Structure 1
Amino acid sequence: MRITVLILTLFISAMVTPAQACRGDVTTAMDYLPGDWVVMGGETEVLGYSEIREGAGGCALRERWEGMDGLEGEALFTARDGGRRWQMVWSDSDGMSLTLSGQADGADMIFTGTQDSEEGEVLHRIAYQLLFDIGEIHQLWEYSVDGGRNWEVFFAAWYLPEDA
């Protein structure tokens, strides 16, 4: 009987451990991303819609983007280090593909990565800022062609819950 209880306890522990390995005690914007979002560029400008789902026992998020301009994109986010670090792979219907590494900065997540272009290396920085008080997430995507000395805004948006 004791062996059966021990085996059952070990089995249940093994089932619980992976999710705990991906989500630690830190709370970031990534915890609030799963859901259906209207993505706004301002008070009245709808940029598109984003559907974000959790998977792999809390170790991954998958985003499906549909822009009002016809652009479609997908992102896969994978958690590491108790949710303090993430990896993001983005691909869209314009042929853009990026792999970025993210790290918690308080409740925010900051992703950075590089992309080769005909003009040289482009540095990308995507920040997800959690706005606790109003239940929104602000995304700021910037790029630099001079190694990070100067930044240009590529995409700035506010994620509002679709049912709000």
Structure 2
Amino acid sequence: MNYLRKTKHIAIMSTLTLLMAGTALATPQDDADAFLKDKNWAEATRAFEGLLETDTENAANYFNLGRARHHMEDYAGARTAYEKSIEHNFQRLQTARYHLARALVSLNQQEKSLEQLEHIAGSGRFSYHTLQGTSEFETFKENPKFIKVIAILTPCNTPEYRQFSFWLGEWDVKSAGATTSSATNSLTSVHGGCVMMEQYVAGTYSGMSINFYDATTKKWHQTWSDNAGGSLYLEGHLKANGSMVLSDENFETSKITGTINKITWTLNPDKSVQQLWESSTDNGKTWATAFDGIYTKQALDK
């Protein structure tokens, strides 16, 4: 029995020691972070203010102090803290500018708020949906500066993304020189204008492609697949004459097959579109026509 009591006593003391050790390991930083996590804004404010008395260059603590003050509706204090976090190169810089812009609106400093939003737009790295959904920015909805900020931050909103737009629409397709159409093709803008989707139907044959501009490579890309198991991977540019020219010259498929495919789309004066598909088996020295088609807008789409 004495042995059991002794063992139980040791276990209890060990548990208490561990608990005390855990408490001893807690730091003022841990306490401040915990207050913030628990949304205890008053205690978080005091805790971060205390930390910043000794560590005056901690950008993250300035930001968190700003958040706590903001929730306490101390907008002037929040502004000062956010500005300090920016001054000390807070890692999430645009987030700090966003909250600073919110605080500035609450201080009736709309122009300074818009300046922060313009800084955010200049970075190109922030969600325009977030700005549009922020209650403080409701007053900016008709403001030209705010509209420009949203336009800049909206993905796929530069002229390059519209270079292939002349191919959008519902089309009847016929071979060059033919009098009747042999297929239909539907080109739609999807995913916020970032992708053009093609749906091609010719009798029992059908296929589709996705077409998009890659801002990193500054090239247009097309990936095609059909119900015959065929596929194409093309890339290229809009030429100076206004034609879009894509080929698979730089893809592994052309090396495997020994054939380079090149497709040229040209907008005609009558708003029809010519699609010229050519192939080469001598590394581009000579070209054979695989398909020469004319796209004419369907009556309902004119």
Q: TM-score range by the shorter chain?
A: 0.7 to 0.9
Deviation of 1:3 after TM superposition, in Å, equals 4.3
User: Which residue, 164, 184, 190 being the options, matches 1:49?
Assistant: 184
| Correspondent of 2:209 among 68, 75, 87 | 75
Q: What are the ranges of 5 or more consecutive residues in structure 2 without an aligned counterpart?
A: 1-102, 121-130, 133-148
Instruction: Find the counterpart in structure 2 of residue 64 from structure 1.
Output: 199
- In the alignment, does 2:254 pair up with 1:152? no
* Structure 1 stretch displaced more, 106-115 or 121-130: 106-115
CA gap 1:117/1:91 in 2 versus in 1, 3 angstroms = farther
Please list the CA deviations of residues 96-132 of structure 1 after superposition, one character each: whole Å capped at 9, or x if unmatched: 11111020102110001053588x321000000011x
Figure out how many residues of one structure are paired with residues of the other and give that number: 157
Deviations 1:65-113 (A, max 9, x none): 0014x2101010011349x631000111111111110201021100010
Q: Deviations over 1:126-145 (max 9, x none)?
A: 000011x2011100001111
- Identity across aligned pairs (percent)? 22
The whole-number CA distance in structure 2 between the counterparts of 1:116 and 1:77 is 19
SS of match in other structure, 1:18: coil
Match of 2:37 in 1: none
2:291 counterpart letter in structure 1 = F
Q: Distance in 2 between matches of 1:54 and 1:85?
A: 18
Instruction: Tell me if the contact between 2:260 and 2:280 (Cα under 8 Å) persists in the aligned partners.
Output: yes
SS in 2 for 1:50: strand
| Aligned residue number for residue 243 of structure 2 | 108
Instruction: Give the number of the structure whose alpha-carbon radius of gyration is greater.
Output: 2
The one-letter amino acid of 2:155's match is P
1:17 offset after TM fit, Å? 2.9
Matching residue within 74, 81, 87 for 2:221: 87
Change (3 A) 1:123 1:60: same
1:73 counterpart letter in structure 2: G
**What amino acid is the match of 1:75?**
S
- In the TM superposition, residue 155 of structure 1 has moved relative to its aligned partner by 1.0
User: 1:45 Cα shift?
Assistant: 3.1
Is residue 2:257 matched to residue 1:123?
no
Query: For 2:178 and 2:230, how far apart are their aligned partners in 1?
Result: 28
Amino acid at match of 1:88: Q
More helix by share: 2
Superposition deviation, residue 39 in structure 1: 0.6
Q: SS where residue 273 of structure 2 aligns?
A: strand
Give, in whole Å, the separation in 2 of the partners of 1:116 and 1:81.
24
Q: Which runs of 5+ in 1 are unaligned?
A: none
